[in-house]
Chain A
Amino acid sequence: KAGVTQTPRYLIKTRGQQVTLSCSPISGHRSVSWYQQTPGQGLQFLFEYFSETQRNKGNFPGRFSGRQFSNSRSEMNVSTLELGDSALYLCASSLGGNTDTQYFGPGTRLTVL
C-alpha cells in the first residue's frame, strides 16, 4: 500500500511570494492534516480536512489556507511569504475516526529567502 506522498519535496521562494503544497493521502484515508515543523517551535498543527470540510484549525494567520478535493488529496497555500515561514511542512492522513493513527508523508522543505 502506497504511503502518503507530498510534492514538491523542496521549494525555495522569496518573501512576498505565495506557495502551494500538495498532499496525496493513503488510499482509503479521508482525513488529511497539515503540520509545520521548525527548530524553534517544533511541530505545530495547521489544519485538518475530512471529506472536503475543514474540521479543525490551528493558531496560524489567515495567510495559511488549505483545501481538500473529492479524491481526498489536499493542498495548502501560504500567501505573502515571510522568512519565518521557512519550515518542513508535513501532511498526515488517517481514516478520520477519533482513534485512528495519523500517518505522515515525507514533508515539503520550504525555504523563504
Chain B
Amino acid sequence: ELKVEQNPLFLSMQEGKNYTIYCNYSTTSDRLYWYRQDPGKSLESLFVLLSNGAVKQEGRLMASLDTKARLSTLHITAAVHDLSATYFCAVDYQAGTALIFGKGTTLSVSS
C-alpha cells in the first residue's frame, strides 16, 4: 500500500523566516505534485515534479524531488502572510489515474 507522509503537519512561522516541508512516500514513483488549499477552498496546483532531481521554483516556494530517497521538499523562503494555507503533496499512483495525498501541512505565517 502506498503511503505518503508529510511533516510537520502544523507549522507556525514568522514573516521573513525560512522553512522546509518534507514529503516521504513508500513506493517507487517519479511523479509528485504539490497543491495548496486555502480554508473553504479547493486545491490549487503549485508544482509538478516528474523526474529525479527535478527542482521547480515559483516566488518564495521551491520544490524538489529525490526519487531514490523517495523524498520531496517544499522550501519556503522569507515567508509572508499570504503563504498561510494548507500544503499537500501527492504521489501519482498507477499511471496518472490516481493521486495519493499526504495529510497536509497547515502553515500559519504571522508578523
Interface size class of A (residues with CB under 8 A): 20 to 34
Is A101 interfacial (CB 8 A cutoff)? yes
Is B101 touching A99 in the complex (CB atoms < 8 A)?
no
For the residues of B in contact with A, the DSSP-based class is strand
Encode contact with A along B47-86: 1 for CB under 8 Å, 0 otherwise.
Answer: 0101000000000000000000000000000000000000
Contact of A50 among B48, B97, B102, B104 (CB under 8 A): B97
Which residue in B33, B43, B96, B104 is a CB contact (below 8 Å) of A98? B96
Distance (Å) between the CB of B81 and the closest chain A CB?
24
Does the CB pair B42–A98 fall under 8 Å?
Answer: no
CA distance A98 to B98 in the complex (A): 10
Whether A48 pairs with B98 at a CB distance below 8 angstroms is yes
Q: Are the CB atoms of A56 and B48 closer together than 8 Å?
A: no
B41 CB → nearest A CB, Å: 7
Q: When the two chains form their complex, are residues B99 and A98 in contact, meaning their CB atoms are under 8 A apart?
A: no
A104-B98 contact, Cβ under 8 Å, with A98-B31, A99-B31: no
- Report which of A45, A96, A99, A105 forms a contact with B99, defined as CB distance below 8 A: A45
- Asked if residues A33 and B41 are in contact (CB atoms below 8 Å), the reply is no
Whether A33 and B31, one on each chain, are in contact in the complex, defined by CB atoms closer than 8 angstroms, is: no
Q: Chain B residues with Cβ under 8 A from A99's Cβ?
A: 31, 48, 50, 96
* Chain B residues positioned under 8 Å from A24 (CB to CB): none
Expressed in whole angstroms, the Cα–Cα distance for A96 and B102 within the complex equals 22
Tell me if A15 counts as interface (CB < 8 A to partner B).
no
Q: Which residue of A lies closest to B104 (CB)?
A: A42
Question: B85 to chain A: closest CB distance in Å?
Answer: 14
**Scoring A residues 42 to 62 as 1 if CB is less than 8 Å from chain B, else 0, what string do you get?**
111100101000011010000
Give the B-binding residues of A (Cβ under 8 A): 31, 33, 35, 42-45, 48, 50, 55-56, 58, 90, 92, 94, 96-107
